[in-house]
Amino acid sequence: MSKHNIPREKVQQAIEILKEKDIDCWITFTRESDLSGEPSLSLILDSNVTWLSAFIVTKSGESIAIVGHGDVQAVETIGSFKEVIGYTQSFKEPFVDTITRLDPKEIALNYSLDNVSSDGLTHGMYLQLCDLLAGTDYPNRFISADPVVLAVRGRKTPSEIEAIKAAIKATEQILDEIPLYIKPGMSELDIFNWVHERMEFYGVEPSWDINYNPGVYAGPDSPLGHCFAEGSLLLEPGQTLVLDFGLKVNGYCSDLQRTWYVLKDGETEAPPHVQKTFNDMLAILEAGEKIIKPGVTGADVDAPMRQVITDRGYPEWGYAMGHEIGRSAHDGSICLGPEWQRYGSSVLIPLEEGNCFAVECGIKLEDVGFFHFEQDVLVTKDGMEYLSSKQTELYYIKG
Amino acid sequence: MSKHNIPREKVQQAIEILKEKDIDCWITFTRESDLSGEPSLSLILDSNVTWLSAFIVTKSGESIAIVGHGDVQAVETIGSFKEVIGYTQSFKEPFVDTITRLDPKEIALNYSLDNVSSDGLTHGMYLQLCDLLAGTDYPNRFISADPVVLAVRGRKTPSEIEAIKAAIKATEQILDEIPLYIKPGMSELDIFNWVHERMEFYGVEPSWDINYNPGVYAGPDSPLGHCFAEGSLLLEPGQTLVLDFGLKVNGYCSDLQRTWYVLKDGETEAPPHVQKTFNDMLAILEAGEKIIKPGVTGADVDAPMRQVITDRGYPEWGYAMGHEIGRSAHDGSICLGPEWQRYGSSVLIPLEEGNCFAVECGIKLEDVGFFHFEQDVLVTKDGMEYLSSKQTELYYIKG
């Protein structure tokens, strides 16, 4: 597989999506992209540009990149844009000429109130576009590219799904080694450092900030969230260990959580109340699994999972039940979450075939610790399938 | 040195800069920051946040972070913001309450037409801020934070300068090994791969996209710019080799270029016309060195360098003569470039003490190849000093 397959697939997919949505033209407008980080650029180019650049895709099937002359050769080599226009002194002329020639009825731009993946256009760049096209009717034709980006980013192509599977495989390889190396008496920080040693051994990168990846939660006193591992918190028999861990392989990410129980001396399995909590966790997860299919919303998936939590007497879960994965560990715009203000409309977007999610949840057993799951799944034509393995039994760490 | 020293230094520096500029309040407003990449966040937090977050610094000396509850512990541990307010369901309430309490006359936001480092606020987030504060007078008090961000990002603190020096040292270590390992007959791609092996050996990261880092230009037929190294272009005796190479160490970047001449059989030094081209290159660089000091603009530095190029009969250089370095290899807002439309006002900003630049230029000798310099310098109180070594003689590669 050429390393440039994915951006080429994504630009072709974008043309089809513009046809489907009946939108004339989509522009990704960026500069110094290693600094400004326009999330759509990685999809359609999978590289950075230095100078002011416009990446234009049209419903009629054109794909045009206008880039600084120093970026021309790289953009041509990647080959996702059929026409590459280079400039030396002024971006304005080729850009205005191209827009005038295309004369699109709608110009979809990457801004969105709710969806961070569709919101790569900075406010300054928006003002700059208005300046560049001042005196023409085109600023009146600006619309949010949200539906376009949502589909282009969310509908994973076969090459993208393979890339995500490779990231998951690398992650599970290290997770599977946990019982071989991790022993009671190790601190959260020891476990954190051990995972980093294994990552170095396998030559793999984290899929989010390495300061919190893996998240390590040993026993009931661990603070939850995006926390630094604690050197003073020791894993003890009779407690659980949770790892929240993801890797990025060839630009695509995994995001997984697993729960282990540390057997006490003489125990061969977890005591009934621990096993019951694990079963409750599984019931929460499976309430979501049954719902996931094209057409349902994130709130639809979240609600029955949240219901099982409270039905079984646990405190409300303060997070969503899942998020897209892809180029980033928190990818895309769809959130499997409740209708809280902080989630905006991201929980009301219908799921589509090809979406990839991390489905997650957690409960806590006093004096024992956290029980967390996070599994990676693909939305199929009429349901879902696992991309990762599914934790169906409590894993054990022995003394 | 604590790893959190730099963000703590930067927030304190920001308070002083707000006093100096007489601006009441600066807000960095972001979400899912590993995806959206707000460039100011790395300075003041050096970490990512997941949920909608506001980082508020005031002229009166307050520093307040409003973040999702899952990010609270990490933001508190970093300690750059004195007050950390967590929320679970709604960001709006603590945010509006805080702004109402502060009642700032100006609210500086990260948008800028010209300066990418000051332009981290997306257009969708700008619209969201307007929504959050709808019905109040605060949207009328929004101003661009450009002068604030320019100073906070551009004026490197002592800890930041040390970090840049460490990145330069790692880069020069590999560059110094070039004559030991690189031989005529190797292709650009061989040289590119060799540098990557050395990076792996030393365990160091590239400071820009690894697909173009190092840039390798062997002989006169190499395409210039951000190009992929060519497997078919072989380095030959009588040609030059240019490497454009930078590393990121502890979050700070170097960006260097060096030129080697490949001696022919029997040669012990470069022939006079090659040496002359090297001397011309040095003269271009030194024309810039003499000018650099606080108060001059990037265009002031660019002009005499550009003049030497044409005076000595070379074609016009199609790039700027330098850029800031720091968190990113192309950092900050000041460009040492000509007054071309594509550079906007970035070439008209006065240099300040503490700014760090990569100063670069290139000329070409037909049938021999490129002669490129790029050195990293610090603007001092009344001039500049080198952070990297300076190439004052042509380096040789032997057969």
Question: Shortest Cα distance from B283 to chain A (angstroms)?
Answer: 24
Place of tokens 């945010």: B95
Give the ipTM of the model, two decimals please. 0.76
pLDDT of B159: 93
A254-259: average pLDDT: 97
Label residue B231 by pLDDT band (50, 70, 90).
Answer: confident
- Whether the per-residue pLDDT at A47 is higher than 80: the answer is yes
| CA–CA gap between residue B381 and residue B367 (Å, rounded) | 43
What single DSSP character describes residue A113? S
User: Residue B104 has which token pair?
Assistant: 């700032």
Whats the size of chain A, residue-wise? 399
Question: Shortest Cα distance from A88 to chain B (angstroms)?
Answer: 7
Place of tokens 């406010």: A123
A112 to chain B, any CB pair closer than 8 A? The answer is: yes
Closest CA to B45 of A212, A175, A214: A212
- Whether the per-residue pLDDT at A79 is higher than 80: the answer is yes
Summary mean pLDDT of chain B: 93
pLDDT of A344: 81
Question: Shortest Cα distance from A32 to chain B (angstroms)?
Answer: 7
pLDDT of A35: 67
Question: How far, CA to CA in Å, does A198 sit from each of A13, A178, A250?
Answer: 37, 10, 18
- Whether the per-residue pLDDT at B1 is higher than 60: the answer is no
Tell me whether strands A107-109 and A142-144 are parallel, antiparallel or unpaired.
parallel
Residue of A nearest to B119 (CA): A124
- A:141-160 residues touching chain B, CB 8 A cutoff: 144
B11-24: average pLDDT: 98
Cα B378 → chain centroid: 13
pLDDT of A230: 77
Question: Shortest Cα distance from A91 to chain B (angstroms)?
Answer: 6
Residue B176: phi and psi, rounded to 5, are -65, -20
**Is B226–A73 a contact, with Cβ atoms under 8 angstroms apart?**
yes
B186-195: average pLDDT: 95
Residue B396: phi and psi, rounded to 5, are -115, 145
Place of tokens 């009946």: A22
Place of tokens 């960001």: B91
Query: pTM for the complete prediction?
Result: 0.79
pLDDT of B32: 77
User: Residue B337 has which token pair?
Assistant: 């470039």
B39 to chain A, any CB pair closer than 8 A? The answer is: yes
Can you list the domains of chain A with their CATH numbers? 5-154 (3.40.350.10), 158-397 (3.90.230.10)
- Whether the per-residue pLDDT at B33 is higher than 80: the answer is no
- pLDDT tens figures, A108-141: 999 998 788 899 999 999 999 999 999 999 999 9
- pLDDT tens figures, B118-165: 999 999 999 999 999 999 999 999 999 999 999 999 999 999 999 999
- Whether the per-residue pLDDT at A350 is higher than 90: the answer is yes
Summary mean pLDDT of chain A: 93
Percentage of chain B exceeding pLDDT 70: 98
**Is B68–A342 a contact, with Cβ atoms under 8 angstroms apart?**
yes
Closest CA to B273 of B238, B237, B241: B238
Tally of CB atoms within 10 A around A241: 26
Question: How far, CA to CA in Å, does A240 sit from each of A219, A229, A372?
Answer: 5, 15, 10
- B:17-36 residues touching chain A, CB 8 A cutoff: 31-32, 34-36
| CA–CA gap between residue B17 and residue B58 (Å, rounded) | 10
Residue B92 CB-density burial (10 A; 0-12 exposed, 13-18 middle, 19+ buried): middle
Residue of B nearest to A211 (CA): B47
pLDDT of B230: 76
**Range with lowest mean pLDDT among A179-188, B42-51, B297-306:** B42-51
Question: Shortest Cα distance from B392 to chain A (angstroms)?
Answer: 27
**Is A74–B227 a contact, with Cβ atoms under 8 angstroms apart?**
yes
pLDDT of B46: 84
Alpha-carbon Rg of chain B, whole angstroms? 23
Residue A154: phi and psi, rounded to 5, are -80, -35
Place of tokens 């049938």: B367
Residue of A nearest to B67 (CA): A342
More confident position, A354 or A227: A354
Q: Does residue A7 have a cis bond before it (omega within 30 degrees)?
A: no
Those residues whose C-beta lies under 8 Å from the C-beta of residue B16, and which sit 6 or more positions away, are none
- pLDDT tens figures, B66-88: 999 989 999 999 999 999 999 98
Using a CB-CB cut-off of 8 Å, the residues of chain A touching B65 are none
**Number of helices and strands in chain B (H, E):** 11, 18
- H or E segment to which residue B40 belongs: helix B39-44
**CA distance between the termini of chain B:** 45
pLDDT of A332: 80
A255-263: average pLDDT: 97
Q: Are B222 and B233 in contact (CB under 8 A)?
A: yes
Residue of A nearest to B126 (CA): A123
B301-318: average pLDDT: 94
**For residue A359, what are the β-bridge partners?**
A322, A375
Helix axis angle, A298-311 relative to A272-289, nearest 10°?
A: 160
Using a CB-CB cut-off of 8 Å, the residues of chain A touching B37 are 35-37
Residue among B74, B112, B341 minimizing CB distance to A124: B112
3-class state of residue B373 by DSSP: strand
Residue A10: phi and psi, rounded to 5, are -70, -40
Positive or negative, the CA dihedral B290, B294, B297, B298 is positive
Place of tokens 């590669």: B397
Buried b (16+ CB within 10 A) or exposed e, B96-108: bebbeebebebbb
Q: Are A57 and A76 in contact (CB under 8 A)?
A: no
- H or E segment to which residue A273 belongs: helix A272-289
| CA–CA gap between residue A115 and residue A108 (Å, rounded) | 15
Residue among B68, B69, B113 minimizing CB distance to A127: B113
Label residue B269 by pLDDT band (50, 70, 90).
Answer: very high
Residue among A88, A111, A224 minimizing CB distance to B124: A111
Label residue A2 by pLDDT band (50, 70, 90).
Answer: low
- pLDDT tens figures, B329-369: 988 889 999 998 778 888 999 999 999 999 999 999 999 99
- pLDDT tens figures, A306-315: 999 999 999 9
**Range with lowest mean pLDDT among A222-231, B124-133, B185-194, B280-289:** A222-231
A239 to chain B, any CB pair closer than 8 A? The answer is: no
Closest CA to A255 of A181, A197, A331, A200: A331
Residue among A69, A111, A128 minimizing CB distance to B225: A69
Percentage of chain B exceeding pLDDT 90: 82
A221 to chain B, any CB pair closer than 8 A? The answer is: no
* Degrees, nearest 5: CA angle B156-B158-B160: 55
| CA–CA gap between residue B157 and residue B160 (Å, rounded) | 5
Residue among A36, A71, A74 minimizing CB distance to B37: A36
- B:285-304 residues touching chain A, CB 8 A cutoff: none
The phi-psi region of residue B350 (left if phi > 0; otherwise alpha if psi is between -120 and 50; otherwise beta) is: beta
Label residue A342 by pLDDT band (50, 70, 90).
Answer: confident
- A:301-360 residues touching chain B, CB 8 A cutoff: 318-319, 328-331, 340-342
- Whether the per-residue pLDDT at B226 is higher than 60: the answer is no
Q: Are B28 and B148 in contact (CB under 8 A)?
A: no
- Whether the per-residue pLDDT at B251 is higher than 80: the answer is yes
B250 to chain A, any CB pair closer than 8 A? The answer is: no
Using a CB-CB cut-off of 8 Å, the residues of chain B touching A116 are 31-32, 35-36
